Structure 1
Amino acid sequence: MSRAFHRENDHRALFVAYIMAGDPDLETSFEILKGVADEADIVELGMPFSDPMAEGPTIQLAAQRALKAGTKMKDVLGLVRRFRETDTVTPIVLMGYLNPVLSYGFEAFANDASDAGADGLIIVDCPPEEADALTDALEAAKMNLIRLATPTTDDRRLPTVVKRTSGFVYYVSVAGVTGVKEADADAVAKPVQRLREASGLPVAVGFGIKTPERAAEVARVADGVVVGSALVDEIAGALETGSNENVTERVLSKAAALAKAVRSARSRGA
């Protein structure tokens, strides 16, 4: 994971793309995963869950579609394993909620996810104070646990949040759920620097980034830019129009525009 952020003679921000495993079905999500990895520096692969409390309507509906299609945890890990047959470089971060991982068993999950080829894990609803057993399992499997910091993470709590965090810190740029409010690049600059200093890690900013223009603004102040709802919206939009529109092509077109904006954000004249 760290190699993705530390590239010699290349100081641009990274484009981190989120998609939901199994949305709208396993085979289509695999094609999207392969294509998005051609544009993104890191891919976050959502693990569908019935109660995704941090998500707005877009990703809630994606999780519902994936679950309706029968996607299980073994299928999520199967997507990663299949992806690794042709791409051994692009980091994959699994993102989801504690209950399915707890049900699977921390050690078993960490070992199976690592064996499949996953590099890291984000668990949205696992407090740092309760994360030692999960962190132990992930560290033993050589996987990163990536924690979230928010605008309400104060100085007293910050050391707890960044303790044993690895890979990068994910800064939630807005209060609330995904895909509703817009991020403000000016407002995230100071928190990003504060998190870098507290953690010694790169900081990727997510929530509220839906357009290439906004992605470029955030890319000028952050180490990474995470976009999820804007990509998942394209899946929903394609499904609504019927079978004549290629879902994968629509998602990848959006991903390409976002990737270009992030990568060119710090170039002269951008």
Structure 2
Amino acid sequence: MSNRYQQCFDNLKAKKEGAFVPFVMLCDPDPQLSYQIITTLIENGADALELGIPFSDPIADGPVIQAASIRALSNGANVAKCFSVIKSIRNDYPEIPIGLLVYSNLVVGHSIDHFYQQANEAGVDSVLVADVPIIESEKFISSAKAHSIAPIFIATPNAEETTLAEVAKRGQGYTYLLSRAGVTGVDVAAEMPVDRIINTLQKYHAPPSLLGFGISTPQQVVEAIQAGADGAISGSAVVKIIANHLSTPEKMLKELGNFIAQMKKATK
């Protein structure tokens, strides 16, 4: 099992910082620019990466990330091309934790084992299968572990203690903590407090928690860490910058760099 997450959180703890983790869709808008986008995220302070593989029916995603999937797919994105981009990133950045957020159709396509094997060969550290509830996760967990991939689970605001205990027991790498119910997006802000969930997860020795959904400002990153989260994930706000500057890639990369730097600064 890769220990990149462990090293990342240990290093941040030593510096008294939280983690900032941006999400982008692989191959959006195309593989070449996608690679440049991801390197921009890393160079401007991302502590880890959360990457999506384009899918035609992303039920947990709001319109911004759905549009990113459609852009990538219309430019010929597929699973193999996505893993190729990850491989290039891994070669250039051997230490950064790389997580995938995917849907089960993509994982079971050829076979679950085949997917996790590809992920391992590309240098992926974790996989979160967004539409598989924890009670149906066993075959995904066993395949993930067989290929040294950390299985990631979501802790929802309305989860009962027994569910959170299962999330703590089965998850590795980090815990994806939802700030609110619904789909991804910046239209609905993150809701605090989340202390009850965090306290319960800590009680059961869960992996570090990263707060996501509706995180779009440095102040929300500050609040997430003050609430007890180990860091924050921001997706739609990052993807929106890409969407707004499709015709001006240089400006896009500059805006992305500025945004990531500000969000990372808020973790200190």
TM superposition score normalised by structure 2: 0.92
- Once the two structures are superposed, residues 139-169 of structure 1 have per-residue CA deviations (whole angstroms, 9 ceiling, x without a partner) of 0111101000101111232233333211111
Could you tell me which runs of 5 or more consecutive residues in structure 2 were left unpaired when the two chains were aligned. none
Aligned to 2:41: 36
Aligned to 1:267: none
Q: How much does 1:250 deviate?
A: 1.9
Could you tell me which runs of 5 or more consecutive residues in structure 1 were left unpaired when the two chains were aligned. 265-270
Aligned to 1:104: 110
Distance 1:104 1:120 in 2: 19
Aligned to 2:196: 190
Q: Which moved more, 1:157-166 or 1:37-46?
A: 157-166
Distance 2:140 2:102 in 1: 14
Out of 166, 179, 188, the position equivalent to 1:173 is 179
Q: Structure 1 residues 190 and 60, CA, compared in 2 at 3 Å: closer, same or farther? A: same
Q: How much does 1:18 deviate?
A: 0.6
What amino acid is the match of 1:78?
S
What amino acid is the match of 1:131?
S
Cα contact 1:14–1:41 (8 A) shared by 2:
yes
Q: How much does 1:128 deviate?
A: 1.4
TM superposition score normalised by structure 1: 0.92
1:5 counterpart = 2:9: yes
Distance 2:259 2:22 in 1: 11
Task: Spell out structure 1 runs of 4+ moving beyond 6 A.
Answer: none
Note the 1:121-160 alignment, pairs <5 A. 121-160=127-166
Out of 245, 257, 260, the position equivalent to 1:238 is 245
1:229 counterpart = 2:236: yes
Total equivalences in the alignment: 260
Distance 2:91 2:250 in 1: 28
Root-mean-square deviation (Å)? 1.5
1:248 counterpart = 2:253: yes
Distance 2:86 2:71 in 1: 19
- Once the two structures are superposed, residues 234-258 of structure 1 have per-residue CA deviations (whole angstroms, 9 ceiling, x without a partner) of 011112xx44753222222211111
